[in-house]
Structures are given as C-alpha cells and as structure tokens.
Chain A
C-alpha cells in the first residue's frame, strides 16, 4: 500500500506570490491534516479535513487555506507569501480520524520564500 504522497517536494517562491501544495493520503484514509514545521516553532497544526469538510483549524492567518476532494486528496494554499512562511509543510492521514488510529505523515513539501 502506498504511503502518503506530497507534491511538489521542493518549491521556491517570492514574497507576494501564492502557492498550492498537494497531498494524497493512504488509500482508504479519509482524514487529512496539515502541519507547518519550522526550526523555531516546531510542528504546528494548520487544519484537518474529513470527508471534504474542515474539522479543525489551528492558529494561522486566513492566508492559509485548504480543501479536500471527494477522493480524500487534499490541497493547501498560501496566498500573499511572506518570508516567514518558509517551512516544511507536512501532510498526514488517518483512516477515520479517530484518536487511537495511527497518523501517517508524508515526506513534506519544503517551501522557500525569497
């Protein structure tokens, strides 16, 4: 069974641009979460989608948005990029999104904003 895949793996953008990142969960998994990882702040929760609905959202500005499609694939979008948005963006999936299910992470998309 294929793991969580994320595309692209690396991305360079300039300030003010927008970016869309893609995540394909493990087949059959319906819960997809997004995290931002930086050296200073560590792993921070962005949002979670389950059955095409946003179930929870972290403390990030409205420039960060996401969506989930009927096949459970998810995208996140960051508009008006800032230098501080440079980070590793991780996607993780769970089967039903229940507490005691194992969450599987993808390899991440490393975004550099210049």
Chain B
C-alpha cells in the first residue's frame, strides 16, 4: 500500500536557524498536507498543497508539492522556541471525499535550543 517516508525523524537546532524536512513516496499523491502537533494536542493543519509544483507560504513556513507528485518539503525560516513540536506530512492518494485515503508520515520531531 501507499507509504510516506518522512525525514529527518528528529532535529535539534539553534533558534534563528532555518529548518527543512521532507516526505517522499513511491506512489503519486493528489494532495499534500503538513500538520504540526504539540504535546497533549491533536495535529493542526499548517499548509495544504493541491497542485504539482505548487509553492505555498504561511508566515515563516513554506511548503512545496513536488513536480513528480511523489514528494513534498516544508521549510521553516528563522525558527523560534514555539516551533517545537512534531511535524507530519500527509498525502491524499485518491479523490473521493474519504479520509481513508489520507496517509501520514511518521513525523519529524523539532527541538529548538533557545
């Protein structure tokens, strides 16, 4: 079945640094989503990408839908302590309105040293 490989698994960076993480798959996805999960909370949607090649920003966050439709990356610029958390990518592999078609990566745990 469809699988997403998310990397890196964890990152430990200095405040102010830029961060990059990505997701790849051997399968084609029609939509890529990026979520952030804080401790004790559910994931919150950061950015949604619906078209191959699309580059979308949300404040200091920028994400791109790969041209091959098999990958996506998320960049965080000038990281701050509140960026700490786990970031998940998710790919929608088939249209049809069912959430069963949404596959999640294993997450990237971000820790920032103040």
Whether A45 and B107, one on each chain, are in contact in the complex, defined by CB atoms closer than 8 angstroms, is no
Closest to A6 in B: B42
The answer for the CA separation of A24 and B100 in the assembled complex, in Å, is 20
The answer for the CA separation of A99 and B50 in the assembled complex, in Å, is 10
B102 part of interface (Cβ distance < 8 Å): yes
User: Contact residue range for chain A?
Assistant: 20 to 34
Residue-wise, chain B 45-77 has the 8 Å CB interface mask toward A (1 for contact) of: 100101000000000000000000000000000
User: Contact residue range for chain B?
Assistant: 20 to 34
Q: How far is the CB of B111 from chain A (nearest CB, A)?
A: 16
Residues 70 to 107 of chain B near chain A (Cβ within 8 Å): 88, 90, 92, 95-102, 104-107
* Nearest 7 pairs of A and B residues by beta carbon: A105-B42, A56-B100, A43-B104, A33-B99, A56-B98, A42-B106, A48-B99
Chain A residues proximal to chain B, CB less than 8 Å: 4, 31, 33, 42-45, 47-48, 55-58, 90, 92, 94, 96-100, 102-108
A-B contact pairs, 17 of them (CB 8 A): A31-B99, A42-B104, A43-B90, A45-B102, A47-B100, A48-B99, A56-B98, A56-B99, A56-B101, A92-B99, A96-B97, A99-B92, A99-B96, A102-B45, A102-B48, A107-B41, A108-B42
